[in-house]
Structure 1
Amino acid sequence: MMKLRVLLGDHPHTAALKSGAIASDLVEMDFAQYTPTNKGFKPMVRDGAFDVSELAIVTFLMAKAHNKPMVMLPDVMMARFQHSYAVTNPAAGIATPRDLEGKRVGIRSFTTTTGAWLRGILANDYGVNLDAIDWITFEDPHVAEYIDATTKAPAGKQIMQMLFDGELDAVLGEKSDDPRVNQLFPDVATEEKAWFARHGVVPVNHVTVVSRELSDNHPDIVREVHRMLQESRASAAGKSPSFNDAELTRSIELITEYSAQQGLIPRAYAIDELYDHVTNALR
């Protein structure tokens, strides 16, 4: 039996796995504890801290761009529509997405997956000039090699408090029903429905990756990990995002295109480049 270092969030589709209800004769999983789970993404990318890891899709794409030794499994950990994660200060006079141009927009890190999805949506569906926005960021990218040219928020400042205080005009990547903010998209449900009708995808946020060493040297273990993930997902039927290969491919191709447009990665990778011969066979 091989003991694996594993980072997975607490999702309905990981509950059976993390409780031990899904067992294996080949694999023992040693689960790392990070709250929130994305706090573990930096050690995964920078130090290879885990054999199996949940990872934001944009972080994975950027990791690939810098030859980090990991490959993707066809196991989605998180997916959601993004339109509700954009809020504005009412005093900023932002009535439409294009009103963001010339404004100060806060985002936790320029490389967050929600941010990349939203910027792609703003640019491609609403004609927003992303270069006309003053981006204010609060955290470093998970991938250390990426050169972040955004404006850094003053030390100690909190993103939502800056929005409340009028030091930011809008924030991407945060969801809030605080009466001091407006929604960038007032009718979120209608926007999401229309966006899905245009693109036919649910945006993927987090995927699952394995270390290249594990895949190269222990393909049977990688296949077993995938089996366990699938079995755990089946036990939570209807409570978790489920994608067939075509749906997953369309979603990842779109966020890859957006990431390339935004300079997060040097080019839009083909879907087959994100898998290796072991994980590709699991699709």
Structure 2
Amino acid sequence: MAMRLRTLLGDHPGTSALKKGALKSDLAAFDFVDYSPTNKGFKPMVRERSFDVSEMAIVTYLMAKSFGKPMVLLPNVVVARSQHAFALYNSKQGTLEPADLNGKRVGIRSFTTTTGAWLRGILANDYGVDLDSIDWVTFEDAHVAEFRDTTKRAPAGKQIVQMLIDGELDAVLGEKAEHPNLKPLFADAAAEEKVWFAKRQVMPINHMVVVGRDLSDKHPDVVREVHRLLAGSAKASPAAPHFSAGEMRRSLELITQYTAQQGLIPRAYAVDELFDDVTRTLI
């Protein structure tokens, strides 16, 4: 009989076939749990081990690993995207470019979001921004309870985009919004993304999939089957992120370096350290 797995997976092109039941297995059956947005489920997974299989922001996973949380990464990417378009400033306050951010007030939902880590890495390593000079304003805690967040918390009830519109922030990361005064921090995001990709040869990974360590230790055949089904579901959609082993490794290596640079983890793990003896063979 198939093992029933309590599972958190968002509605993505690469998860659609699996969630609709188009793929069958004698080893694994999924009881899907809905969170909207999906990232609301990451905290209970990290803090309470609420799921057997879970979508997971890669920076949250890196931080969870640094605190010894019993989770194992699978080499299945479910969300990946270029990041440059997710940064805004208020043009009513004057023109602002990436290199102008030193000393500015910058809002971000949580300092530990994966999009935020990618953007800060890009700003620091490609535009010379001193991240320590920025007055960071945040709105939520980290998913990992043990992480000590030293950023300034926005006043209760304040909304990040509205604070930017009202001139209480100079820029925000991790957001898109339609407003006549809000402009992209990267003036031609699409062009700058192309230049960055040509330089780095990396498509930024946002979310992958993790399983509980107990599941991997006691039922490696089930974990291998979960990977197979996720890969089959991704293959069924041209719109799903498709990474070769080398592409995935480059992306994981870079985000791990950025996450360590920003003090979110104590050191940059080698990519192979992110997997266990079962999942490493699946790459």
TM-score w.r.t. structure 2 length? 0.98
Residues in 2 aligned to 1:232 and 1:40: alpha-carbon distance in whole angstroms: 21
Distance 2:100 2:17 in 1: 46
Secondary structure of 1:53's match?
A: strand
CA distance in 2, matches of 1:126, 1:241: 27
Separation in 1 of the partners of 2:96 and 2:169? 16
Instruction: Measure how far apart 1:103 and its partner are.
Output: 1.1
Q: Which residue of 1 aligns with 2:4?
A: 3
1:229-248 pair list within 5 angstroms:
229-236=230-237, 238-248=238-248
DSSP-derived class of the 1:281 partner: helix
Aligned equivalents of 1:117, 1:17: Cα separation in 2: 29
Contact kept in structure 2, 1:100 and 1:133, CA below 8 Å: yes
Q: Which residue of 1 aligns with 2:262?
A: 262
C-alpha distance in structure 1 between counterparts of 2:100 and 2:177, whole Å: 20
Counterpart position of 1:191: 192
- Secondary structure of the equivalent of 2:278? helix
1:151 alignment counterpart: 152
- Opposite residue 83 of structure 2, the aligned amino acid is Q
Asked if the contact 2:89/2:96 (under 8 Å) is kept, the reply is no
CA distance in 1, matches of 2:101, 2:93: 9
- Aligned pairs for 1:75-114 within 5 A: 75-114=76-115
Instruction: Give the letter aligned to residue 246 of structure 1.
Output: G
Q: Structure 1: which amino acid aligns with 2:27?
A: L
Matched, 1:182 2:198: no
Structure 1 residue ranges, 4+ long, deviating more than 6 angstroms after superposition = none
Post-superposition offset of 1:91: 3.2
Partner deviation per Cα, 1:91-136 (whole Å, 9 max, x = no partner): 3334321211111100000000000000000000000000111000
Secondary structure of the 2:73 match is strand
Identity of aligned residues (%): 66
* Structure 2 unaligned regions, length at least 5: none
Whole-Å separation in 2 of the counterparts to 1:202 and 1:180: 30
CA distances 1:20-79 after superposition (whole Å, capped 9, x unpaired): 111111111000100000000000000011111100000000000000001110000100
Answer whether contact 1:107 1:172 (CA < 8 A) is retained. yes
1:27 corresponds to which letter in structure 2? A
The correspondence of residues 10-21 of structure 1 with structure 2, limited to 5 A, is 10-21=11-22
Q: Distance in 1 between matches of 2:61 and 2:279?
A: 15
Size of the alignment, in residue pairs? Answer: 282
Q: Which one-letter code corresponds to 1:248 in the other structure?
A: M
Q: How does 1:1-283 map to 2 (within 5 A)?
A: 1-236=2-237, 238-283=238-283
* TM-score normalised by length of structure 1: 0.98
RMSD over aligned Cα atoms: 0.8
